[in-house]
Amino acid sequence: MKGGTEMTDEEKFEGFKQKMIIENELKYGNEIRAKYGNETVDSSNAKLKRMTKEQYAQAERLSLELSETLKAAFVQGDPRSELAEKVFKLHKRWLCFYWGEYNKEAHASVAQMYVDDPRFTAYYDKIVPGCAVFLRDVVNHFCISP
């Protein structure tokens, strides 16, 4: 529109991913690097950079399914139920789109952060008030409980 060269859809998508990384670094970079280390954060950023449009669309669909399933499991009220186990598996799959590698301890730590950090609590509690605590309880059950 300004007389410059027109970007392809792929170039736009690459720019979109880079913008997401920059915004995340500005908003959370110092604290996540202090908590998880540069290598972990850099690995996650690299994974996002390599993500295809199709993979990104899958992650977005998975996020919606996770929210819907989390709401249904919350209403059911049992963080040990079959539906809660589905929430756990969906959340794990969603994390794996962004994490370099998965481990249960980190999963439990992130779920605790959802409760401890008001920004994340607000995000999950928009689904239904109390969802952040419920998700933490679900993850703890399936990650920590024998």
- pLDDT tens digits, residue range 16-40? 999 999 999 998 889 889 988 899 8
CA dist 26 and 22 (Å) reads: 6
Residue carrying structure tokens 């500005």: 26
Q: pLDDT band for position 6 (50/70/90)?
A: confident
The whole-model pTM stands at 0.87
Give pLDDT tens digits for 45-81: 999 999 999 999 999 999 999 999 999 999 999 999 9
Long-range contacts, 57-66 (Cβ 8 Å, 24+): 58/97, 59/94, 59/97, 59/98, 62/90, 62/93, 62/94, 62/97, 63/94, 65/90, 66/90, 66/91, 66/94
pLDDT at 4 over 80: no
pLDDT band at 1 (very low <50, low <70, confident <90, very high): very low
CB 135 within 8 A of CB 87: yes
User: Around Cβ 144, how many Cβ atoms within 10 Å?
Assistant: 12
Q: What is the pLDDT of residue 3?
A: 54
